């Protein structure tokens, strides 16, 4: 990668990828993502559900084909004749040096998204991880729920209905993540020490939360193609691991899918969960920092374009 010299005044500096370089990165990204996209598509073609991994393609709305698709991110010029195929995708333009993402395509709605994501990530990063929720959100989602209405009704509950309810009633629920809390059953909601709302998300999100760390994938694809696909892939790969812990600590029996339970209903299980949660918080921190840096870069580039277009 090399820096572009002689750019017009007021434009941000851009980097160049030669055709062999970006083709190699494109191939590596697609191959990496196919580890998960291909099995998912095969299961879907057979009509099979996976209670752990489907979440990454259904709750999160980034389609497998889009996950495999490589983008260089903002401020990167792609050299070589093969780069012209990027012009068939929204958001790219051709310059004298090659093909690059066009800041003009980052409209008002996406600017608002980027500002929200930046505020959320920076506020989350500024807080210390809280490690005492023990994954009870999954239990609260089935608390006193009729069997036919349980989200993963094809699975049995490890402790049965009464045993599951007893765990919820015996432990303190401390979930501050709105997008988990909104799926609590009505009887479980008053048991939560917090009553998070969408409006409070920036104020409540904290870096120990498994779902906040999985959501780094969501914020990366919300800003795609202006986020480098390597970073999006890193966020997705971490989300896969976090999701597995999330469901191992749930009340469901996942032994038929090869997962061993993490019994948070025991003191030993809760300690193990907190250790894993702390490790994921540690690993998520640099990804969050990279996303923050890219948000700043994107918004800076958009401001520069807007200022120049008004001159």
Where does the pLDDT of residue 302 fall: very low under 50, low under 70, confident under 90, or very high at 90 and above? confident
Where does the pLDDT of residue 12 fall: very low under 50, low under 70, confident under 90, or very high at 90 and above? low
Where does the pLDDT of residue 8 fall: very low under 50, low under 70, confident under 90, or very high at 90 and above? very low
Residues 6 or more apart whose Cβ sits within 8 Å of residue 186: none
pLDDT (0 to 100) of residue 154: 86
pLDDT (0 to 100) of residue 303: 62
Is 70 exceeded by the pLDDT of residue 309? Answer: no
pLDDT (0 to 100) of residue 190: 97
Where does the pLDDT of residue 5 fall: very low under 50, low under 70, confident under 90, or very high at 90 and above? very low
> CA–CA separation, 220 vs 231, rounded Å?
8
How many structural domains is the chain composed of? 1
Is 70 exceeded by the pLDDT of residue 144? Answer: yes
Where does the pLDDT of residue 1 fall: very low under 50, low under 70, confident under 90, or very high at 90 and above? very low
- Going from the C-alpha of 28 to that of each of 22, 74, 173, 258, 300, the distances in angstroms are 10, 19, 42, 28, 29
Average pLDDT of the residues in 180-209: 97
Where does the pLDDT of residue 2 fall: very low under 50, low under 70, confident under 90, or very high at 90 and above? very low
Q: Is 246 left (phi over 0), alpha (psi -120 to 50) or beta?
A: alpha
Terminal CA-to-CA distance of the chain, rounded, Å? Answer: 31
pLDDT in tens, 173-191: 999 999 999 999 999 999 9
Where does the pLDDT of residue 305 fall: very low under 50, low under 70, confident under 90, or very high at 90 and above? very low
Residues 6 or more apart whose Cβ sits within 8 Å of residue 255: 261
Question: Average pLDDT over the chain, rounded to whole?
Answer: 92
Average pLDDT of the residues in 221-248: 98
pLDDT (0 to 100) of residue 304: 56
Show the domain range for 177: 2-309
pLDDT in tens, 25-44: 999 999 999 999 999 999 99
- Going from the C-alpha of 287 to that of each of 2, 29, 273, the distances in angstroms are 24, 17, 21
Helix, strand, coil % (nearest 5) of the chain? 55, 5, 35
Where does the pLDDT of residue 6 fall: very low under 50, low under 70, confident under 90, or very high at 90 and above? very low
SS3 for 300?
Answer: helix
């Amino acid at each position: 990668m090399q820096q572009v010299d002689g750019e017009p005044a007021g434009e941000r500096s851009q980097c160049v990828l030669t055709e062999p370089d970006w083709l190699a990165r494109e191939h590596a990204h697609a191959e990496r993502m196919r580890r998960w996209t291909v099995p998912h598509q095969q299961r879907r073609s057979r009509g099979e559900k996976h209670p752990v991994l489907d979440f990454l393609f259904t709750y999160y709305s980034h389609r497998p084909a889009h996950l495999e698709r490589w983008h260089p991110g903002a401020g990167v010029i792609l050299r070589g004749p093969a780069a012209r195929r990027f012009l068939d995708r929204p958001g790219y333009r051709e310059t004298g040096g090659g093909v690059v993402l066009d800041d003009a395509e980052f409209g008002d709605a996406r600017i608002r998204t980027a500002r929200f994501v930046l505020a959320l990530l920076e506020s989350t990063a500024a807080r210390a991880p809280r490690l005492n929720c023990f994954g009870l959100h999954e239990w609260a989602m089935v608390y006193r729920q009729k069997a036919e209405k349980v989200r993963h009704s094809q699975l049995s509950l490890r402790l049965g209905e009464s045993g599951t309810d007893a765990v919820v009633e015996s432990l303190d629920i401390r979930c501050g993540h709105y997008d988990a809390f909104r799926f609590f059953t009505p009887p479980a909601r008053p048991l939560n020490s917090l009553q998070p709302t969408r409006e409070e998300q920036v104020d409540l999100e904290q870096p120990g939360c498994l779902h906040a760390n999985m959501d780094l994938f969501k914020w990366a694809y919300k800003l795609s193609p202006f986020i480098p696909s390597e970073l999006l892939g890193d966020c997705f790969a971490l989300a896969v691991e976090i999701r597995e812990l999330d469901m191992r600590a749930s009340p469901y029996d996942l032994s038929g899918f090869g997962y061993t339970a993490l019994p948070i209903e025991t003191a030993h299980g809760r300690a193990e969960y907190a250790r894993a949660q702390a490790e994921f918080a540690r690993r998520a921190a640099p990804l969050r920092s990279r996303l923050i840096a890219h948000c700043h870069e994107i918004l800076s580039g958009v401001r520069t374009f807007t200022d120049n277009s008004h001159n």
